[in-house]
Structure 1
Amino acid sequence: MKLFRNLMTLVLAGFVSFGAMAQDHGTKDEAKAMVNAALAHVKKAGNDQAFKDFTADKANWTKKDLYVFVMDMKGVMLAHGANEKLVGKNLIELKDQNGKGFAREFIEVGSTKGEGWVDYDWAHPVTKKVEGKTSYVKRIPGFDGFVVVGAYR
């Protein structure tokens, strides 16, 4: 009986852990909402302050596995909520493990359509495993750059 109870406890703990992990993944809808919230913050605080906030203020700009980043139309990272070391670097040549130049695709979407989704593979910031990711890109009005938030698929 004690063995059965211990096994049931492990099984239930596994279900709870699995549920918690599933909730830790942001959705496409949450990513898009976060981009729009970031754009509202840019409008209110100004570019410089907002970009600093996106990089440093994890409590407000990192939710589950979602984070905000900002890139200009030349491929320079202006803010990054998951990796501050990327700020100031030109990442226009950045490609995923399949050779997809997704940074160029961000720029293409931001400069031609103004907003849209880009699919690519990227290392998850928590697990470090490469996973499929879809990122919502939206141009910053009156600025030569865009805000991005991606959800792992």
Structure 2
Amino acid sequence: MQKKLMLAVALGVAFAAGAIASEQRVTPKEAESMVKKGVAYIKATPRDKAMADITDPKGQFVDRELYLTVYQLDGTALAHGANAKFVGKNMIELRDANGKEHIRERMELAKTKAAFWQDFSFVNPVNKKIEPKQMYCELTDDKKLVVCGGIYKPGV
């Protein structure tokens, strides 16, 4: 009887931990909202300040595993909320863990769509694991910048 009770408690704790972990995950709606907020901010703020604020890992454009990236259409990163070392670098040839040139693909999609979702794999900044990622992107009104933010999907 004692073993069954301990097993039930252990399963309950494991279930609760899983429920808490899933609650902490970013939703597609949150990603879309953050990107829209970033696009509006870029439009209303001098570019240097906007890019610095979006790159700030403790700023308003980072929430759990969600962060924004901003690229020029040639693949040059202007802001990156998870890795400031990318800023100023042309990332067009960057490949994900599966060899996919996701930045190149993203820039090609941005040339034909004002808003889109993209799938690839990337390191989750919270747990440091490579996970499948879905990135929501919008082209700015002047059609010069691509603003993106994404969600991670563990165990997919």
TM-score range, shorter chain: 0.7 to 0.9
SS of the residue 1:43 aligns to: helix
Distance 2:119 2:47 in 1: 26
Q: Choose 59-68 or 14-23, whichever is displaced more.
A: 14-23
Q: Where does residue 104 of structure 2 map in the other structure?
A: 104
Q: Distance in 2 between matches of 1:61 and 1:20?
A: 23
1:12 and 1:85 mapped to 2: Cα distance? 42
The residue that corresponds to 2:56 in the other structure is 56
1:108-127, CA deviations, whole angstroms, 9 ceiling, x for partnerless residues? 12122122111111111122
Which residue of structure 1 aligns with residue 43 of structure 2?
Answer: 43
Report how far residue 14 of structure 1 moved: 2.9
State how far apart, in whole Å, the 1-side matches of 2:2 and 2:98 are.
Answer: 50
User: Larger % of helix: which?
Assistant: 1
Aligned residues: 153
- Indicate the RMSD between aligned Cα atoms, in angstroms: 2.0
Deviation at 1:63, TM superposition (A): 1.4
Whether 1:80 and 2:80 are equivalent positions in the alignment is yes
Aligned: 1:129 with 2:129: yes
TM-score by length of 2: 0.86
Is residue 69–residue 80 contact of structure 2 (8 Å, CA) maintained in 1? yes
2:35 counterpart letter in structure 1: V
Displaced runs of 4+ in structure 1, greater than 3 A?
A: 1-13
- Structure 1: unaligned runs, 5 residues or longer: none
Q: Residue in 2 aligned with 1:22?
A: 22
SS of the aligned residue for 1:108 comes to helix
Return the alpha-carbon distance in structure 2 between the equivalents of residues 57 and 44 of structure 1: 21
